[in-house]
Amino acid sequence: MIPVLDERKEKILAAVVEDFISTAEPIGSRTIARKYGLGVSPATIRNEMADLEEMGYLRQPHTSAGRIPSERGYRYYVDHLMQPEEPDKQEKELLQKCVRTKAREIATVIQQTGLILAQLTNYAALVTSPSGKGVYRHIQLVPFGPGQAMVLVVLASGEVFHRLTPVPEGITAYDLESISAVLNAKLRGLTVTDIKSTIIKEIYAELSYYRQVLDLAFELIQEALTAREERIFRGGIHSILNEPEFKNVERLRTLLGLLEQEDFLCDLLASHTGQGIDIRIGREFNREDVRELSMVTAGYQINSVSGVLAVLGPTRMRYARVAGILRYVTESLSEELRKAFGGEI
Amino acid sequence: MIPVLDERKEKILAAVVEDFISTAEPIGSRTIARKYGLGVSPATIRNEMADLEEMGYLRQPHTSAGRIPSERGYRYYVDHLMQPEEPDKQEKELLQKCVRTKAREIATVIQQTGLILAQLTNYAALVTSPSGKGVYRHIQLVPFGPGQAMVLVVLASGEVFHRLTPVPEGITAYDLESISAVLNAKLRGLTVTDIKSTIIKEIYAELSYYRQVLDLAFELIQEALTAREERIFRGGIHSILNEPEFKNVERLRTLLGLLEQEDFLCDLLASHTGQGIDIRIGREFNREDVRELSMVTAGYQINSVSGVLAVLGPTRMRYARVAGILRYVTESLSEELRKAFGGEI
DNA sequence: TATTAGCACTCTTTGGCTTCGAGTGCTAAC
DNA sequence: GTTAGCACTCGAAGCCAAAGAGTGCTAATA
């Protein structure tokens, strides 16, 4: 969409959006003239606002109230008028500290980041752990008491899947070790589509004695490689209650309900591809029950491993601030991941 | 506490509690006489209620309203008057299906159970994954690209910890394998307190060449064995919005805030020990900000591995139903875990 | 002595009414 | 094209009266 508004209209639109974002109250011509000195009188602004309303960028909750932005108004604002706000120094440090702690599992780092994100923005944060294309890296069968084994499957992305599973009584630790060795030799670096029946047959032939154990192992491998499990972490849900739009309990329930629909969230975040910032506003979700929410998403990526950070709030969201913070976080995160994984994925 | 009320007072108290639980409205003498035929007139019931109020079991929101139970009233009710409700057949089947799916990681099963729990009770559910005393079972060092290794630590409880960590360039897959072997031979079955400096020195002596890798390995082992990490899953938070007490946004915010305080929840659930059902009501939490919530907790256990399921709701909670469901779930769960782990933990 | 009927009283809830004020749109003047 | 002036609209807030639920007290009853 190309900008189509003249400069004064843009200024007025920006004023309405920004004022409404910070006060949550409809804004009138008088206030704009006073607070955002444009050198014209309220009457002029009234005329302009009437135009903007006719063009669909503003609307009036009721006749005798001021104007508020429509979804289209927000869209124009984020596309043409807004400048992402660079986080301040203190915030940057906080985020860096969070992203840099190598001492922990990656999933934990991401989760922490989500919490900080929520804290800084005062909206709900959603975060997917980094996940790759599902490339096999390693399997380990560990004896675990009589008749049981722990199966560990490690993917190239660093994700680990594990399962406790029964094995036939006769199998020894040594057997498990050899099975692991063969599987690792044959499968390393393959994706689920690469693991064709020829390879499987080959392995079964080589390890014909262990058919039963192999079945179990393949089951978990299969699962690990396909599981677009996209674990989602949520944070800061309570902070969203500060927003006056959620004083309305019905709306709040919708939001909380959504946040528990793992599948929906996955789809939502999955629809963000690549790096960069996406913003989705209200009805753009194409869902009956999501009309008053906006979401800013940002992808981080290193080679084939990627994930998404998202901030969910009311349509009246501090887009500039959120976009700025997200941009900073994902950049830091990508950088750290690059260091952690080296070039080797 | 021994029951101290005469039979008629008990009946009246039970009537008030149960009616209030189902309607959320204060209840008057007239209604009790009508709905819970005790064969006496409203006037008599009024007298009894005045007694109960004086004794602290009931209270009046305001002069011209009916009575509602006080915390003490609820306490008396759950201790002496309530009978846990057996879940109906359909509910039992649902729960069984959920608990029985061996096909998945235990953590996932528990999480699923939490969701079902929330769904059946219409309150928020909290769940800790089963976790044991922190007994070492197995370590596996897996080469992971140049200069990196994946460290996997498996505990006797079936919990798995993993970390990607840099290793000195010269270390080969074979080296990692031997380190794993030595550690496994020496440490199997030990707890963090058992791993004394004598053993550690022994291992360092034996593997003196690998000092650096050992440092990293020990770090994760240490962490895995001590991490009372008590991952907590939450479910059904939105369903609690149906309760009229949470129409009040302030109260709701308190609740959501609490639910995000992982530490607090851990402490709370950790305070439940052993099997059986615990009920905590309002101020019994000993926290300024938790006055209107109740929690029913139930422990499941097999040998040294245990976890807790909890349901969190308003003090006006369907205690009998929740307690019944929880009892059933934890029994099923303990049984399934026993099957899964055999006697071997 | 325990129970009950009757009644005056209390206190919240509800709905209607008015007032207030912010903001608009229109018209006419600049 | 811009602005001042003005009548008009509509929600929010405050006020009051009526309705209704429930109580506590007293006196009558079994």
Q: Tell me the two tokens of residue A85.
A: 């706000």
Question: CA A31 → C1' C29, Å?
Answer: 24
Cβ within 8 Å, pair B238-A247: no
Contacts 24+ apart (CB under 8 A), A288-296: A289/A254, A289/A257, A289/A258, A290/A254, A290/A258, A292/A245, A292/A251, A293/A255, A293/A258, A294/A74, A294/A319, A295/A268, A296/A322, A296/A323, A296/A326
* B342 band by pLDDT with thresholds 50, 70 and 90: low
Residue type, B13: L
Name residues 236-275 of chain A within 8 A of B (Cβ): 236-238, 241, 246-247, 249, 252-253, 256-257, 259-260
Burial pattern A117-156, b for ≥16 Cβ within 10 A else e, equals: bbebbbbbbbbbbbbbbbbbbbbbbbbbeeebbbbbbbbb
CA-to-CA distance for B230 and B267, rounded, in angstroms? 10
Backbone angles phi, psi at A337, to 5 degrees: -65, -40
In this prediction, what percent of chain B has a pLDDT beyond 90? 48
Say how far B63 CA is from D14 C1', in Å: 25
Q: How buried is residue B312: exposed, middle or buried, by Cβ count under 10 Å (0-12/13-18/19+)?
A: buried
| Distance of residue A278 Cα from the nearest chain B Cα, in angstroms | 27
Whether residue A91 has pLDDT greater than 70: yes
Q: How many Å does it take to go from CA A25 to C1' D1? A: 30
Q: Is B146 in contact with A344 (Cβ distance < 8 A)?
A: yes
Q: Which residue has the tokens 């308003």?
A: B314
Do A232 and A265 contact (CB within 8 A), yes or no? yes
| Minimum-distance nucleotide, CA of A42 to C1' | D3
CB count in 10 Å sphere of residue B338: 15
pLDDT value for A228: 62
CB atoms A256 and B247 under 8 Å = no
Instruction: Collect all residues of chain A within an 8 Å Cβ-Cβ radius of residue B106.
Output: 164
- Over residues A7-20, the pLDDT tens digits come to 999 999 999 999 99
Tell me the pTM: 0.86
Contacting residues for B209 by C-beta, under 8 A, at least 6 apart: none
The C-alpha torsion from B101 through B317 and B235 to A296, rounded to 10°, is 160
Strands (E), chain A: 58-59, 68-69, 124-128, 136-143, 148-155, 160-166, 232-235, 276-281, 293-302, 305-314
Confidence of residue B229 (pLDDT cuts 50, 70, 90): low
Strand C reaches within 7 A of the A42 CB: yes
Contacts of A97-100 with CB under 8 Å at 24 or more apart are A99/A329, A99/A332, A99/A333, A99/A336, A100/A336
Kindly list the strands in the beta sheet with A293-302, ordered across the sheet, starting from the edge strand earlier in the chain: A232-235, A124-128, A305-314, A293-302, A276-281
Q: CA B36 to CA B19: how far, in whole Å?
A: 10
Can you read off the two tokens belonging to residue B332? 């099923």
Contacts of A137 (CB under 8 A, 6+ apart): A154, A155, A156, A188, A189, B142, B144
Determine whether the distance from the CB of A50 to the nearest atom of strand C is below 7 Å: yes
Question: Which positions in chain A touch B145 (Cβ < 8 Å)?
Answer: 341-342, 344-345
**Protein footprint on strand C: which nucleotides are under 7 Å from a CB?**
3-6, 9-12, 21-27
User: Which residues in chain B touch residue A124, judged by CB atoms under 8 angstroms apart?
Assistant: none
Query: Which pLDDT value is given to residue B290?
Result: 87
> Which of A149-158, A305-314, B83-92, B301-310 is predicted with the least confidence, judged by mean pLDDT?
B301-310
pLDDT at B345: 44
B216 touches chain A (CB under 8 A): no
Spatial neighbors of B78 by CB under 8 A, at least 6 apart, are B279, B281, B319, B323
Query: For A174-181, what is the mean pLDDT?
Result: 91
Total residues found in chain A within this entry: 345
What are the residues whose beta carbons fall under 8 Å from the beta carbon of B223, sequence distance 6 or more? B161
Strand pairing partners for B294? B281, B313
For chain B, the straight-line distance linking the first and the last C-alpha, in angstroms and rounded, comes to 38
| Mean pLDDT calculated for residue range B159-184 | 88
Greater confidence (B165 vs B315) lies with: B315
- Cβ atoms of A67 and A16 closer than 8 Å: yes
Q: Reply yes or no on whether the pLDDT at B196 is more than 80.
A: yes
Ramachandran area for residue B181 (φ above 0: left; ψ -120 to 50: alpha; else beta): alpha
**B63 Cβ contacts chain C strand, under 7 Å:** yes
pLDDT of residue A60: 94
What are the start-end ranges of the E strands in B12-135?
58-59, 68-69, 124-128
> Does any CB of chain B come closer than 8 Å to the CB of residue A132?
no
Distance from CA of B315 to the nearest CA of A (A): 20
Give the integer Cα–Cα distance in Å for A34 and A48.
Answer: 16
Q: Tell me, what's the pLDDT at A345?
A: 44
Report the footprint of strand D: residues with C-beta closer than 7 angstroms.
A 39-41, 43-44, 47, 62-65; B 26-31, 42-43, 46, 49-50, 53, 60, 63-67
Whether A338 has its CB under 8 Å from any CB of chain B: the answer is no
Structure tokens at B196: 């004394």
In this complex, which residue's CA is closest to the C1' atom of nucleotide C2?
A: B44
Chain B interface includes A142 (CB < 8 A): yes
Provide the pLDDT for residue B230.
Answer: 67
Answer yes or no: is pLDDT of A94 > 50.
yes
Which two structure tokens, joined as six digits, stand for A212?
């039963």
Looking at residues B174-186, what average pLDDT do you find?
A: 92
Which nucleotide has its C1' atom closest to residue A43's CA?
D3
- Pick B342's closest partner by Cβ from A104, A147, A260: A147
Which of residues 145 through 164 in chain B touch A, CB cutoff 8 A?
145-148, 150, 152, 154, 158, 160-164
User: B311 pLDDT band (50/70/90 cuts)?
Assistant: very high
B343 pLDDT higher than 60: no
- Mean pLDDT on A274-299: 91
Considering only the beta carbons, identify the residue of B145, B152, B341 that sits closest to A160: B152
Name the average pLDDT for chain A. 88
Look at residues A306, A332, A296, A342 and name the one whose alpha carbon lies nearest to residue A78: A296
Helix axes A89-100, A319-341, angle to 10 degrees: 30
A106 and B164: CB-CB below 8 Å? yes
Cα A67-A71-A76 angle, rounded to 5 deg: 95
Residues with Cβ < 8 Å from A302, sequence gap 6 or more? Answer: A130, A334, A337, A338, A341, A345
Q: Is the CB of B34 inside 8 Å of chain A's CB atoms?
A: no
CB of A140 closer than 8 Å to CB of A132: no
Q: Is A181 on the interface with B (CB under 8 A)?
A: no
Cβ contact, residue pair A164, B257, below 8 Å: no
CA distance B330 to B317: 20
User: Which nucleotide's C1' is closest to A32 (Cα)?
Assistant: C23
Instruction: Identify any residues that bridge with B233 across adjacent strands, giving them in sequence order.
Output: B127
A246 — alpha (psi -120 to 50), left (phi > 0) or beta?
Answer: alpha
pLDDT band at A75, cuts 50/70/90? very high
pLDDT in tens, A31-68: 999 898 788 999 999 999 999 999 999 999 988 889 99
Chain A residues closer than 8 Å to B342 by CB = 145-148
Nearest-by-Cβ selection for B145 from A140, A246, A342: A342
| Residues of chain A contacting residue B101, judged by C-beta atoms under 8 Å apart | none
Nearest to B241 among A154, A256, A342 (CB): A256
Q: B159 and B139 in contact (C-beta within 8 Å)?
A: no
Contact B87, B277 (CB under 8 A): no
**Closest chain B residue to the Cα of A142, Cα to Cα:** B138
CB A125 within 8 A of CB A118: yes
Beta-bridge partners for A236: none
Structure tokens at B266: 């851990």
pLDDT, position A56: 95
Q: At what angle do helices A211-226 and A197-206 cross, to 10 degrees?
A: 150
Instruction: Specify the pLDDT at position A342.
Output: 60
Per-residue pLDDT for A176 more than 50? yes
What's residue A167's pLDDT?
A: 86
Band (A102; pLDDT cuts 50, 70, 90): low
Query: How many Cβ contacts (< 8 angstroms) between chains A and B?
Result: 111
pLDDT tier at B224 (50, 70, 90 boundaries)? confident
pLDDT tens digit sequence for B230-264? 678 888 888 888 888 888 777 888 888 888 888 88
